[in-house]
Structure 1
Amino acid sequence: MLGYSLLLLGPAIMIAFGLHAMKSVPLTFSLFYGWLLLFSASSIRQSLQFLRNNALLNKGVLTGFGTGILFLFLIFGTVSAFSDSFFDAEKLQQQLIDWNFTGGHLIWLILILLIVNPLLEEYYWREFMYTKLMQKLSVLKTILITSFFYSLYHLLSLIFLFNWPINLLAVIPVFLAGMIWGYFRHRFRSLVPAILCHMLSDLGIILVYLKFFHV
């Protein structure tokens, strides 16, 4: 059980050390994505071959794309409509500067959020951890656990990004997204729908960043 606990908490530990202790977004990205890649590499190789024989893939792609478009508009629309209540733009811009995250990193932010982040997060939580937990637990418990720990480290970031109590409440849609992507993994026996939906959701986050936080 110690091994499982470390795997579940590892991403949050990387975020806590890089962002809270060292106060550096570039370092946080290196630690966090390095952890995900370390444990997801074997799952990535195995799943590529499985895609060729998945009869549910076409339907899953349409589901992932449609859900992703909905998530994109919900993220950008909600934050835009309630931005004054959600955060203090000037304070947040200063926080990004303190984290060594400024306009010079824009291209890297886009590449990471649109490609690296959805791929590695989905392979880690909805493939690597999903497969491990499914050996001992039911589908529902597996999806609940992976969604909980997936949302846990988002809380460590949201604490700084939004006003109280929005920063705490914002974890709820993250958890629900994890549940939906876990269901996609189970229903379509593929990560493609979840990855596609995740990419479009992250595009919504990028649009929010460009509109309010770009410094």
Structure 2
Amino acid sequence: MKSTQDIDRLNRNRSILALLLIVPITSIGALCSTVIAPGAIGQGIAICCGIWMLIFPLLWQISIERQPLRWKLSLDGAIVGILLGVLMFGSILGSYWLVGRYRLNIPDIRARVNQMGMNIPLMVFGFGTFQTLVNSLIEEYVWRWFVFRHCARLWTQTRAVWISAGFFTLHHIILLAAYCDDWRLVVIGSIAVFVAGVLWARCAKIYNSLLPSYLSHLAADLALQIASWHILLG
């Protein structure tokens, strides 16, 4: 019979492996789609990485943890999520309209998007809608349900908030650097993503629910998509 220490060590080792198998994947997809192989090949790799991010936590929960799948989307914290979402929506659009649209190299961004074959208006709107409604939920499920939980096994829950937010920021840094030729915008954008990750992880910690973070994440992504539509479609 295994002792408590043996079980704790096994769980910690499992969490280390789980994080190693999921945290770098989005960064790999971002690098391939924007830097290493922009175009069909890079997009294909990014899609495969996205599929992995979706199915790996499910497979891990069923086959390794051997626990039923549980997501809590109760109304606890919904008002907090809505208020955070309104604040993020206004901050993102305000920052873009007052500063970003003058600092960003819009012709270069359009050229990069054209290179990726994502310049068709219907595709732009379809991708933006998916990012806003679906991808924001997937990211909460990955980073706040799966990654945060395994970080909390290795560190305290308070530290897990900051560490999981750091992991969440990594692939955003790559994307920001790929589309912004002003390093100051990359730094400011990365800090903003990290702060958002901290807030969303704290919501998951306090309310034990994905709903607050999903609602605010959805609002933030909607603001980003509105800015993207303005950049790409004029």
Amino acid at match of 2:146: F
User: Kindly tell me: are residues 5 and 209 of structure 1, through their superposed partners in 2, closer, same or farther at Cα, counting changes over 3 Å?
Assistant: same
Q: What percent of counterpart residues are identical?
A: 20
Which of structures 1 and 2 has the bigger CA Rg? 2
Correspondence 1:187 to 2:221:
no
Match of 2:38, SS state, is coil
Gap runs ≥5 in structure 1: 52-56
Asked if 1 retains the 8 angstrom alpha-carbon contact of 2:53 and 2:142, the reply is: yes
Q: Deviations over 1:84-123 (max 9, x none)?
A: 5431111211111012111241232123211221111111
Alignment equivalent of 1:177, drawn from 196, 207, 211: 196
Moved runs in structure 1, 4+ residues, more than 4 A? none
The count of aligned residue pairs is: 209
Instruction: Give the TM-score normalised by structure 2.
Output: 0.81
Correspondence 1:109 to 2:127:
yes
Match of 1:165, SS state, is helix
Greater length-normalized contact order (CA 8 Å, ≥ 6 residues apart): 1
For 1:33 and 1:79, locate their aligned partners in 2 and report how far apart those are by CA, in whole Å: 27
For 2:148 and 2:159, locate their aligned partners in 1 and report how far apart those are by CA, in whole Å: 10
- Which stretch shows the higher mean deviation, 169-178 or 154-163? 154-163
Amino acid at match of 2:34: L
Cα-Cα RMSD: 2.2
For 2:224 and 2:18, locate their aligned partners in 1 and report how far apart those are by CA, in whole Å: 33
Amino acid at match of 2:106: A
1:58-207 → structure 2 map (5 Å cutoff): 58-102=75-119, 103-162=121-180, 163-207=182-226
- 1:36 corresponds to: 53
User: Kindly tell me: are residues 29 and 76 of structure 1, through their superposed partners in 2, closer, same or farther at Cα, counting changes over 3 Å?
Assistant: farther
For 1:32 and 1:208, locate their aligned partners in 2 and report how far apart those are by CA, in whole Å: 25
- 2:7 corresponds to: none
Gap runs ≥5 in structure 2: 1-15, 62-67
Instruction: Give the TM-score normalised by structure 1.
Output: 0.87
Asked if 1 retains the 8 angstrom alpha-carbon contact of 2:35 and 2:178, the reply is: no
Amino acid at match of 1:133: C
For 1:116 and 1:122, locate their aligned partners in 2 and report how far apart those are by CA, in whole Å: 10
- 2:8 corresponds to: none
Q: Deviations over 1:176-204 (max 9, x none)?
A: 00000000001111011101110000000
Correspondence 1:47 to 2:80:
no
Asked if 2 retains the 8 angstrom alpha-carbon contact of 1:79 and 1:208, the reply is: yes
Match of 2:117, SS state, is coil
- 2:21 corresponds to: 6
Asked if 1 retains the 8 angstrom alpha-carbon contact of 2:169 and 2:190, the reply is: yes
Alignment equivalent of 2:36, drawn from 7, 21, 25: 21
User: Kindly tell me: are residues 160 and 144 of structure 1, through their superposed partners in 2, closer, same or farther at Cα, counting changes over 3 Å?
Assistant: same
Match of 1:47, SS state, is coil
